[in-house]
Amino acid sequence: MSSDCIAEVLLPTQELRDDLPFFTQVLGMRLETIFPADDPSVASFSGHGLRVRIEKGADVPPGRIRIMTDHPEQFAGGTLKLTAPNGTEVVVVPKTPVAQIPEIQHEFTVRRLKDNAPWIIGRAGMHYRDLIESRLGGSIIASHIRIPDGGPVPDSVHYHTVGFQLIFCYKGWVDVLYEDQGDTLRLHAGDCVTQPPGIRHRVVEASAEIEVIEIGVPAEHITTIDHDFTLPNGKGDPSREWEGQTFVHHVKANARWAPFRLPGFVARDTGVTHGTKGVAGIHIATFDGGDTRAAVHDADIHFTFVMTGGLTLIAAGQPSVQLEAGDAFVIPPGLAAQYTDCSDDLELLEVALRGDFVTTLC
């Protein structure tokens, strides 16, 4: 692509002289060209990474310009919405995105694999299946992701504006690169990583039929491609924090098992509660053959994915439901629920926000 090209956005005007002071003085753009000299009707301006051409009588709509700055209060006198004489709307927004987490809409919900929720082709050709249809009011997204063919992944170095994000390798393996974490990390089935807010990363390669579970808070968050950052970039300080969270890499082969919060189960702690300072908690629980009991919790969000085996989920006021591998459910705070008829090979991925929630047995 030629570097000597210039692109302009065309905007209309009825009278160019009315727009000149707005674009130069109010928006702080630089006048580049203007003609004809005796009665100007066309002018080009540049500034804020944008070039616009204003042309008298142009048969185009006025348009809208978004100006991003880290100091909106200092731009254009602090006015966040302006209208140029030619009708162009100008909105001033923060340059650095901030994760806005909507109010959680609590509900009991079940998503079963056999219900055939659609697989959507998303970023970098990956296939996505939504595990929480309502997304609890936009507060969380839980995605079952697969790459059918495996091999190299056409991914770019990028980062997410999130409150919390988890990548859990469900099946197969995937190679990933993370900022300050050295060379490629290979996640095998049962391994997971957290992606702290803003950490640069890239998916490199995956096995055939790779499947991962990805958790993101909030559901809709911005992904920013960083064209100037190269990975790998060496190893940094292991205690480095991104917005208060450290990078957590949990390896199943090195895990220690301990009694779970619910009777009848043992679990491995991934270290996510510590790494996020309580923002989230991730446990993998397996049935150990003991008696189970009903319980309530006080977590804002409590999501569970059935990795292997099966169970019957009994929740107060709800019909009992039989679940198997690939199914997922959300239990809202304060709702008594019990796992019964558990198969010997039952294994669950439990995601909680916050991670330091309290469980009370009934």
Reply yes or no on whether the pLDDT at 99 is more than 90.
no
Helix (H) or strand (E) holding 46: strand 42-47
* Band (352; pLDDT cuts 50, 70, 90): very high
Give 3-state DSSP helix, strand, coil % of the chain, rounded to 5: 10, 45, 45
Quick check: 219 and 138 in contact, CB under 8 A?
Answer: yes
**Number of Cβ within a 10 Å radius of residue 250:** 22
Domains in the chain, CATH or no CATH each: 9-94 (3.10.180.10), 109-250 (2.60.120.10), 254-361 (2.60.120.10)
Reply yes or no on whether the pLDDT at 359 is more than 60.
yes
Alpha helices in the chain, H assignment, sequence order: 16-21, 272-275
Tokens representing 9 are 């956005």
Reply yes or no on whether the pLDDT at 228 is more than 70.
yes
> Stretch 285-290: mean pLDDT, rounded?
94
Reply yes or no on whether the pLDDT at 40 is more than 70.
yes
Going 162 to 166 to 171 to 177, the CA torsion angle's sign is positive
* Band (95; pLDDT cuts 50, 70, 90): confident
pLDDT, residue 265, reads 97
Gap between the Cα atoms of 181 and 196, Å rounded:
13
Q: DSSP letter string over 209-249?
A: TEEEEEEEESSS--EEE-TT--S---B--TT--BTTB---E
Q: In angstroms, how far is the first alpha carbon of the chain from the final one?
A: 66
Quick check: 137 and 102 in contact, CB under 8 A?
Answer: yes
pTM: predicted TM-score of the whole model, two decimal places: 0.87
pLDDT, residue 126, reads 77
Q: Which residue has the tokens 């491609």?
A: 225
pLDDT, residue 284, reads 98
Reply yes or no on whether the pLDDT at 124 is more than 70.
no
> Stretch 322-345: mean pLDDT, rounded?
97
pLDDT, residue 2, reads 54
Quick check: 51 and 32 in contact, CB under 8 A?
Answer: yes
pLDDT, residue 154, reads 87
Gap between the Cα atoms of 104 and 111, Å rounded:
18
Give 5's contacts (C-beta < 8 A, 6+ positions apart).
Answer: none
> Stretch 254-272: mean pLDDT, rounded?
95
Higher pLDDT, 1 or 59: 59
Reply yes or no on whether the pLDDT at 63 is more than 90.
yes
Gap between the Cα atoms of 354 and 273, Å rounded:
8
pLDDT, residue 4, reads 83
> Stretch 245-267: mean pLDDT, rounded?
96
**Number of Cβ within a 10 Å radius of residue 335:** 19
Gap between the Cα atoms of 238 and 248, Å rounded:
10
Gap between the Cα atoms of 270 and 29, Å rounded:
51
pLDDT tens column, 143-201: 999 988 889 988 999 999 999 999 999 999 999 999 999 999 999 999 999 999 999 99
3 state SS of 72: helix
3 state SS of 191: coil
